[in-house]
Amino acid sequence: MEEGFEEFEVNEEGKPYNIRHRAFYFSRDVIEFVKKSSYEKVFYSIYDQLVRSATSVGANLAEGKAGSTRKDWKNYFLIALKSANETKYWLCLIRDTMDQTDKKKIIELITEADEISNIIASIIVKAG
């Protein structure tokens, strides 16, 4: 398991307070969802993009934390925000074009992606 992700404080919904931890678990959930999905060749690139954008969120938050300047930090957080929004796009596209998809899980993932993007946006705004 990723270093520093073994123990974490959670809110009343059982979600990590730390946005980096939350993004890590979101990425893991998306990967598990894709692993369990069966889809036709036409959907391959959509699922590939979904995994790329979802994992990009946490990766950019981690890079931002390690940024050497405030400008670096902000740029990485902005990229993470864009990736979270892109992830919502791919999830909605899957939800609306595939009949054999676990709709309940897709809605959960869309909700989590939306919450993560709102948190990241809030952090950026508050940081100025």
CATH code for the domain in which residue 85 is found: 1.20.1440.60
3-state class (DSSP) for residue 60: helix
pTM to 2 decimal places: 0.85
Which residue range is the domain that position 70 belongs to?
A: 19-127
Q: In the chain, where do the E strands start and end?
A: none
Render pLDDT for 97-120 as a digit per residue (tens, 0 to 9): 988 778 899 999 999 999 999 999
Q: Is residue 118 part of a domain?
A: yes
Contacts of 113 (CB under 8 A, 6+ apart): 26, 54, 84, 87, 88, 91
How many domains does the chain fold into? Answer: 1
Render pLDDT for 40-74 as a digit per residue (tens, 0 to 9): 888 999 999 999 999 999 999 999 988 779 999 99
